[in-house]
Structure 1
Amino acid sequence: MSGALKGAEIRVERPAKTLRELALDKVREAIVNGYFRPGDRLVERDLCAQLGVSRTIVREVLRHLESEGLVANLPNKGPIVAELDLAEAKQIYEIRGALEGMAARLCAERGNPNIVSALEASLQSIRDCYRDNNMPGVLSHTTAFYQTLFTMVDRHVAWGVVNLLTVRINHLRSMTIKTERRGIEGPAQMAQIVDAIRRGDGEGAQQAAMDHVAAASAIAEAVLSAQKPAE
């Protein structure tokens, strides 16, 4: 047996995710899903105990989440869950509306039935998750819906821009999807996007996508405005 072959047999495979990455996923998920709420202090000692990781990893996780806009580091207070800012939220929805409207129009103009099938599959999963009160699932399948919208028409750069905002977008979505009737109205609005794409109606698809974002923006604005007096 050759030395090269022996080396291959004993090579240690890198795990799918490092401990730091797993801890990052857990804390990000806890913030997005509302386990940690805006303004909550993130005490390193407590996080170490809850996650079962070292303080070094916790500090790296908090720094990363600060770069994503989910954590703020306040003088004399330390890390807290960042407050959702209304002005910033409006900008995020403006970007979403422009890019998602463009992607929907291109999907309609492409005339590819595989796009419709993929979108319908994600939409059905979203409905199923709403029915089961599985809000993390709603977020996951909604992201998949929009990833299809962009990548099936080769708009990977635009998806990259949206994906950079996905954490903040999901932070807002985690708030809007829990509001009354959103589990009915949200999927119905997304179905209008799919229907327009199926018909090859580019203008209709673009408008439906922008209307869906506008509805979400209005809900977010109402919720965030209502929270202000309590702050």
Structure 2
Amino acid sequence: MSSKEGSSLKIDRSVKTLRELTLEKMRDAILSAYFKPGERLVERTLCDELGVSRSIVREVLRHLETEGLVESIPHQGPVVATLDADKAAQIYEIRALLEGHAARLCAERADTALLEQLALINSQIQAAFRAGDFHGVLQQTSAFYELMFHGSGQSMAWEIVQSLNARINRLRAMTISSSGRAAEAAEEMRLLVDALQKRDAQAAHDASVAHVRRVASIAARKLAELAEESDQAAAQSGDLARAP
């Protein structure tokens, strides 16, 4: 893999440990599709691009493998994990179950200050959408759900969500860029926040589940398109290989 022109993965070491900064940089690079699904992650090249040692690169790649963002291929080494439609569907099913339940309990249990904070974070999500700041959308959305689970008292459920968070954000990065998604997401989140603030537990549950099901349908469509493009590319490659 060659270095990308006009981009830099160099690490700012001023705040966190070098390993933490490298992990964040690599995770963001995969979520933003700087590294594409199936792309080889060559240690020597990554050392040069990131400006870190090979031992740190190896640690980070192992960690990303536990998050489901990297996979090791025999005789090839680490590559960016491909997005699997069946696994994505399972992730959305888990989200619907856990987030719907958390939304219901949050409406019943959370104090007024927490609900106001959720409304504020949602306004920041929508501002990031309008600004085209998809990284900001991902960050604020994760913060919203962490707070909602906290308000619901479902700490163990949040741990389960966190274990999937890298894959959730990878899917989220794909869906939030779809045409018209900003307006749709704003309305879906408005319904959820309104239900929470009115302490309407059933409406909060329904709004949360409806939101997950909508993004699940978008992800399924996009993954099908990617699979079709991959099949076409493979077919063209085979045609070229057979050409005289």
Q: Same fold (TM over 0.5)?
A: yes
Give the SS at the match of 2:71. strand
2:85: which partner in 1?
Answer: 86
CA contact (8 A) 1:70 1:81 kept: yes
Q: Could you tell me how far apart the structure 1 residues matched to 2:201 and 2:33 are?
A: 37
CA contact (8 A) 1:108 1:197 kept: yes
Asked if residue 59 in structure 1 is aligned to residue 54 in structure 2, the reply is: no
Unmatched tracts of structure 2, length 5 or more: 1-13, 231-244
Give the SS at the match of 1:83. coil
**Equivalent residues in 2 for 1:60-209, closer than 5 Å:** 60-110=59-109, 112-209=111-208
Q: Could you tell me how far apart the structure 2 residues matched to 1:229 and 1:220 are?
A: 14
CA contact (8 A) 1:34 1:174 kept: no
Q: Could you tell me how far apart the structure 1 residues matched to 2:86 and 2:44 are?
A: 33
CA contact (8 A) 1:122 1:145 kept: yes
113-122 or 130-139, which deviates more: 113-122
CA contact (8 A) 2:103 2:196 kept: yes
Q: Which amino acid aligns with 1:140?
A: Q
Q: Which amino acid aligns with 1:158?
A: A
Q: What is the CA-CA distance between 1:16 and the residue it aligns to?
A: 5.2
2:37: which partner in 1?
Answer: 38
What is the aligned length?
A: 217
Q: Which amino acid aligns with 1:87?
A: D
Q: Could you tell me how far apart the structure 2 residues matched to 1:204 and 1:52 are?
A: 50
Q: Which amino acid aligns with 1:164?
A: S
Q: Could you tell me how far apart the structure 2 residues matched to 1:63 and 1:209 are?
A: 33
Alpha carbons of 1:83 and 1:111: their partners in 2 closer, same or farther (altered >3 Å)?
closer
Q: Could you tell me how far apart the structure 1 residues matched to 2:52 and 2:169 are?
A: 26
Q: What is the CA-CA distance between 1:197 and the residue it aligns to?
A: 1.3
CA RMSD of aligned residues (A): 1.2
Percent of aligned pairs with the same amino acid? 47
Q: Which amino acid aligns with 1:215?
A: R
Q: What is the CA-CA distance between 1:42 and the residue it aligns to?
A: 0.9
Unmatched tracts of structure 1, length 5 or more: 1-14
Q: Could you tell me how far apart the structure 2 residues matched to 1:215 and 1:114 are?
A: 29
Q: Which amino acid aligns with 1:95?
A: I
TM-score (norm 1): 0.90
CA contact (8 A) 2:110 2:151 kept: no
Q: What is the CA-CA distance between 1:18 and the residue it aligns to?
A: 1.9
Q: Which amino acid aligns with 2:153?
A: D
Q: What is the CA-CA distance between 1:112 and the residue it aligns to?
A: 2.5
